[in-house]
Amino acid sequence: MMRYGVVRTFVLSVLAFTAASFLCGAAWSLSSLVVFRVLQGAVSGPMIPGSQALLLGIVPAREERYRTRHLVDHDAGGPVTGPVLGGYISDNWSWPWIFYINVPVGVLSGLVCWHYLKRRDTPTRQLPIDTVGLGLLIVWVARCRSCSTRVRIWTGFHHHRSWCSPSWR
């Protein structure tokens, strides 16, 4: 977040999550839904640490208990209300609306956060890319993929119908 600023990173993450939510609702197949959900998860990564960093910067230290309460309320409230609201929407409307409902909320949240917090953005710094870490990550992911493929071949799993097989529709 130091490379682009906390507010800018947070707002872009909210707007990208909103766009990915729209794509999930507009998915034309199971494969496209899976791809859009992965995209949604990838772009939402900075949202939680960004919101925590923004809350730490906005709420004064003397009101520490309120700051902590807000973090706990949001972290506990989402997993409780999300499935209930999603089930209600799916039962009474249709499943794409569990994604479409994020669009107006996300756009409004992004615009309000940018409008009120853009003056509080942290200074940016030019940071070098961690080439050793990136190289190790690439090797690790490739090795995990290679091992999972070998396990599927050794166990005979590749002969069954799976998400990766062309017969899965």
pLDDT on residue 153 = 60
Please give the pLDDT value at position 110.
92
Q: How far is CA 134 from CA 91, 100, 148, in A?
A: 44, 35, 21
Taking the CA atoms of the chain, what radius of gyration do you get in angstroms?
A: 20
* Distance (Å, whole) CA 41 – CA 94: 22
CB 10 within 8 Å of CB 58 = no
pLDDT at 168: 45
Model-level pTM?
Answer: 0.70
pLDDT averaged over consecutive 10-residue blocks of the chain (169 residues)? 79 94 92 92 87 78 74 75 86 89 93 85 78 92 77 58 51
User: Token pair of 112, please?
Assistant: 């309000």
| Selection from 24, 76, 68, 14 nearest residue 44 by Cα | 14
What is the four-CA torsion angle of 22, 26, 31, 34, rounded to 10 degrees?
A: 20
